Amino acid sequence: MKRTSLRLVRQIDAIVALLLAVVTSTLGLLDVVSPKIAGNATLATLAVISFALLRDRWNKASADRSTEMSVAMASQSLTQIERRMASLEAASSAVLKMQTTVEGIAHIRTVRGADIAAAFSEARQHTDRWLFRGGTGTYTRAVTLPECIANARRDRRALLVRIEIIDPTSSVLCEAYSRFRHAVSSRPDGTGELWTADRTMRESYATILSACYHQQRFQFLDISIGLSTVMSTFRFDLSASRVIITQDDPQFPAMVVSNGSPLFDGYANDLRTTMAQAKRVDLEAAARTPLSDEPTVTEARALFVAVGVPLPKGFDDVSVREVIDKAIRAKNPYE
DSSP of 243-281? EEEEESSTTS-EEEEEBTBHHHHHHHHHHHHHHHHSEEP
pLDDT-based confidence at residue 25 (cuts at 50, 70, 90): low
Pick 73 or 99 by higher pLDDT.
Answer: 73
Can you give the pLDDT at residue 98? 47
177-214 tens-digit pLDDT: 999 988 888 888 888 999 999 999 999 999 999 999 99
Q: What percent of the chain has pLDDT over 70?
A: 70
Total domains present in the chain: 2
> Whole-angstrom Cα distance, residue 117 to residue 288?
36
Taking alpha carbons only, the member of 181, 197, 193, 274 closest to residue 236 is 274
pLDDT at 195: 93
Domain that holds residue 154: 109-328
- CATH code for the domain of 121: 3.30.870.10
| The pLDDT of residue 162 | 98
Highest mean pLDDT among 17-21, 42-46, 180-184, 322-326: 322-326
> pTM above the 0.75 mark?
no
Residue 334 forms part of a structural domain: no
Q: Is the pLDDT of residue 10 over 90?
A: no
Question: What integer is the mean pLDDT of 288-312?
Answer: 96
Sheet bearing 234-238, strands edge to edge? 108-111, 254-258, 242-247, 234-238, 129-133, 159-166, 221-228, 279-280
More confident residue, 312 or 90: 312
Is pLDDT larger for residue 78 or for residue 192?
Answer: 192
335 in a structural domain:
no
Last residue of a domain, one of 106, 141, 158: 106
Q: Which of 90-94, 267-271, 294-298, 320-324 has the lowest mean pLDDT?
A: 90-94
Quick one: 309 and 207 in the same domain? yes
The residue-averaged pLDDT of 111-131 equals 94
The residue among 87, 106, 125 that closes a domain is 106
The overall longest dimension of the chain from CA atoms, in Å, is 150
User: One-letter amino acid identity for 72?
Assistant: A
Spatial separation of the C-alpha atoms in residues 158 and 160, rounded to whole Å:
7
Last residue of a domain, one of 72, 106, 140: 106
Flag whether pLDDT at 6 surpasses 60: no
* pLDDT of 47 over the 60 cut: no
Question: What pLDDT does residue 186 have?
Answer: 80
Lowest-pLDDT range, 70-74, 82-86, 102-106, 295-299? 102-106
What per-residue confidence (pLDDT) applies to 64?
59
Residue of higher predicted confidence among 45 and 173: 173
Same-domain check for residues 170 and 192: yes
Q: Tell me: the pLDDT tens digits for 136-161? A: 999 999 999 999 999 999 999 999 99
| Arithmetic mean of pLDDT over the chain | 83
Same domain, 66 and 125: no
**Amino acid (one-letter) located at 272:** R
Residue 60 inside a domain? The answer is yes
